[in-house]
């Protein structure tokens, strides 16, 4: 793992822990449910949109996508299609 990836992961963990501590005394079931939903939604976004990379040369990065990141996308067209 590159130093930048490790730094990014550490920063994310620190933010998560900070938010958890900030809401530790929360007692409202509705608010707790809302916070858990937000955490779950953030996890889905991170799992489906973040790719880790490792520097293998000064100008090359080896990408390590997870299966959640790999998804079927519409084909890219450089020019607009004409509807017929």
Please write the tens of the pLDDT for every residue from 4-54: 555 666 777 788 888 888 999 999 999 999 988 888 888 787 778 778 788
Please write the tens of the pLDDT for every residue from 58-73: 889 898 888 887 776 6
pLDDT at position 3: 55
Burial 20-39 (b: 16+ CB within 10 A, else e): eeeeeeeeeeeeeeeeeeee
Boundaries of every domain in the chain: 3-64
Residue in the structure block whose two tokens are 């449910």: 33
Banded pLDDT at 76 (limits 50, 70, 90): low
pLDDT at position 54: 83
- DSSP H or E stretch at residue 4: helix 3-22
Q: Do the Cβ atoms of 22 and 40 come closer than 8 Å?
A: no
């Amino acid at each position: 793992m590159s130093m930048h990836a490790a730094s990014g992961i550490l920063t994310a963990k620190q933010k998560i822990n900070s938010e958890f501590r900030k809401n530790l005394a929360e007692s409202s079931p509705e608010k707790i449910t809302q916070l858990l939903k937000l955490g779950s939604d953030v996890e889905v976004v991170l799992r489906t949109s973040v790719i880790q990379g490792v520097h293998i040369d000064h100008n090359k990065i080896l990408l390590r996508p997870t299966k959640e990141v790999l998804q079927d996308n519409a084909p890219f067209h450089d020019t607009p299609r004409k509807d017929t």
